[in-house]
Structure 1
Amino acid sequence: MSGGLSVGIDIGGTKVAGGVVDPDGLVVARARRDTPHRSTSPSVVEDTIVDVVAELIDEAGDDVVAVGIGAAGFVAADRATVVFAPHLSWRDEPLEANLQRRVPVPISVDNDANAAAWAEWRFGAAQGHSHVVMVNLGTGIGGAMILDGQIMRGRYGIAGEFGHMQVVPGGQRCECGNKGCWEQYASGNALVREARSMMTAGSPMASDLLDLVGGDPSSLTGPMITEAARDGDATATELLGEIGQWLGIGIANLAAAFDPGVFVIGGGVSAAGDLLLEPARATFRRHLTGRGYRPEARIVAAALGNEAGLIGAADLARRDALERAAAEGA
């Protein structure tokens, strides 16, 4: 696919990351800003996006043909409106129209997990697969499905919100308003919550983690836990293993529903690699419906890391721009 450079923007619960992406999926320039967490003003997040886009277009110049936005929320089927964003303040937000008034090239909006899955299918771990399910473990859990080269968005554009499947009735309260959602047990937030809980309870099992943050549990982050596990910390390893077990349970349910050939695990928590994925694979095999009598989907780590979302958003925007240009020239 050709057509010049495009800008991809990945909007998460804590950051706006952007990049200039070439037609081969290579990021040739980058910019990043923190997201005002739980901001009550949608315009604050919008201003942050525009700031990142302006920086990247200034750097790349006239070669930029489109901007793609990967939004962490429910994006309507028109790919113009963010219906609901659990970790941000968007409610029926006309994001495409608002940004298009301030950005000089065509805008395309999609769910951030859709964008990441597209990138992995085009350039990463899902290349060559016809049936793909992606699970993104970050602040929450995002998900996406690709069937024969098409993103399966659902009737209303909200397919793939796997993180809000209820796996524990009456369980942990989720930011979406329900209780017991999968992302409350298998996400980065869940990992940090469980570790901090052990620390504040004074568990001797968490003493090394408490020393790591100078006695301040609130400063502990997911990457710190992953690094501690890599260094051999038993409690950090156990915590990642528990997240992996919950991941495996959810994936087994998704296999029963969609029967993909491959699950691609992305997002920040996936940086833990086999510390996360081996417990997930083992639990998946134990819970898979018809285990022993059916083919098993592969469970693989995403290849493009945290940049999958912006790469996919940029590539989808480039494709949309080319299709519009072709239609106008027909």
Structure 2
Amino acid sequence: MNYGIGIDLGGTLIKAVVMQENRVILKNYLWETNDHFESLQQGAPIWAQRIRQGISKIKSEQGRDPSWIGISSPGLADTNNKRITAMPGRLLGLENLDWEVYLDSPGKIFVLNDAQAALYGEVQLGAAKGRKDVIMLTLGTGVGGAIMLDGKLFQGRLGRAGHIGHLSVNYKGGPDICGTPGSIDTYIGDNSISERTEGRISSTKILVERYRQNDPYATSIWLESVRALAAAIASLINILDPEAIIIGGGIAKAGKDLFIPLHNFLDQFEWRPNGERVSLIIPNLKDYAGAIGASCFAKDSHQGM
């Protein structure tokens, strides 16, 4: 049976999966990224060498070349899903790297933004399996996202589609890293917690712990953050009319402390024709969603050529 490889390139770790043609996962791999551009081997960053060496190892173990390779990565993928065209400030050497040339692969290689790959994985093999209109939100250091419409990833003209963190919920707010005023990224992302709490709380984890202890200040800040998230979700529902919204990322690990107030706010904000409400679901592929999604996307794209 033919097989393929899915790679998820992260800032700290590289995850990989070997997938059979029937989408059964044979094996998982984990390698350190070593995102230090000044450390070069044969003219390429260490992380790129790690990926090439890892794929060589997989080929040796399988006894033949893969039929497809999918790569999940931060940044904007080009319209042909062949390379990352924009990834400022991190993983230097990634922008415009031609993966098919670099890996000297006889099989086709397809590249996806990491959030888009995670969504594709959850729709193919995870929590949203069988659904066609799905939004994913990842709540962590910042807020990421991805969109699937009618069973296809919506990537947009430049690959920007799905950057939900930069949706404005306050037009009078300060600009985020993309220049968007009052974005959801600045209202609930961990990167803004010190600013939102005037330096009194250093992480969302501590904020939620104090919320659980009924601390009045932490409760006010946390509920304001969740209220902003609910407003963003309600807006997305009105614009895209999805079947479900997947909510993942480190902040989603707050569990009921996130989802109970979020549901309460959505009871106020969500437009529900005929009583229909959009399902909020939790991803279940965990750390390997990006690698699995990249492999599935590459397989489907390869077969569709």
- TM-score range with shorter-chain normalisation? 0.7 to 0.9
Q: Give the TM-score taking structure 2 as reference length.
A: 0.80
- Structure 2, unmatched stretches of 5+, are none
- Classify 1:255/1:6 alpha carbon distance in 2 versus 1 (closer, same or farther; 3 Å): same
What does residue 306 of structure 1 align with? 287
The residue type paired with residue 158 of structure 2 is: Y
Q: What does 1:181-330 align with in structure 2 at a 5 Å threshold?
A: 181-191=183-193, 194=196, 197-199=199-201, 224-225=205-206, 228=209, 232-234=212-214, 238=219, 241-288=223-270, 290-291=271-272, 293-324=274-305
Moved more, 242-251 or 111-120: 242-251
RMSD: 3.6
1:67-125 CA-to-partner distances (Å, cap 9, x unmatched) read 32222222232223434336637799313x1x333213342111111111111101111
Query: How far did 1:229 drift?
Result: 6.7
What does residue 161 of structure 1 align with? 163
Rounded Cα–Cα distance in structure 2 between residues aligned with 1:16 and 1:107: 20
1:262-294 CA-to-partner distances (Å, cap 9, x unmatched) read 111122322222222222222222122x34755
- Structure 1, unmatched stretches of 5+, are 200-216, 325-330
Contact 1:57-1:64 within 8 A present in 2 as well? no
- Classify 1:284/1:32 alpha carbon distance in 2 versus 1 (closer, same or farther; 3 Å): farther
- Classify 1:57/1:92 alpha carbon distance in 2 versus 1 (closer, same or farther; 3 Å): closer
More helix by share: 1
Moved more, 278-287 or 233-242: 233-242
Rounded Cα–Cα distance in structure 2 between residues aligned with 1:227 and 1:60: 45
Contact 1:115-1:313 within 8 A present in 2 as well? yes
- Classify 1:242/1:291 alpha carbon distance in 2 versus 1 (closer, same or farther; 3 Å): same
- Classify 1:25/1:266 alpha carbon distance in 2 versus 1 (closer, same or farther; 3 Å): farther
Moved more, 44-53 or 22-31: 44-53
Q: What does 1:41-190 align with in structure 2 at a 5 Å threshold?
A: 47-59=46-58, 61=60, 62=64, 64-85=66-87, 88=90, 93-95=95-97, 97=98, 99-105=99-105, 106-190=108-192
Structure 1: which 4+ aligned runs deviate by more than 6 Å?
39-45, 89-92
Contact 1:76-1:158 within 8 A present in 2 as well? no
Moved more, 43-52 or 260-269: 43-52
- Classify 1:153/1:281 alpha carbon distance in 2 versus 1 (closer, same or farther; 3 Å): same
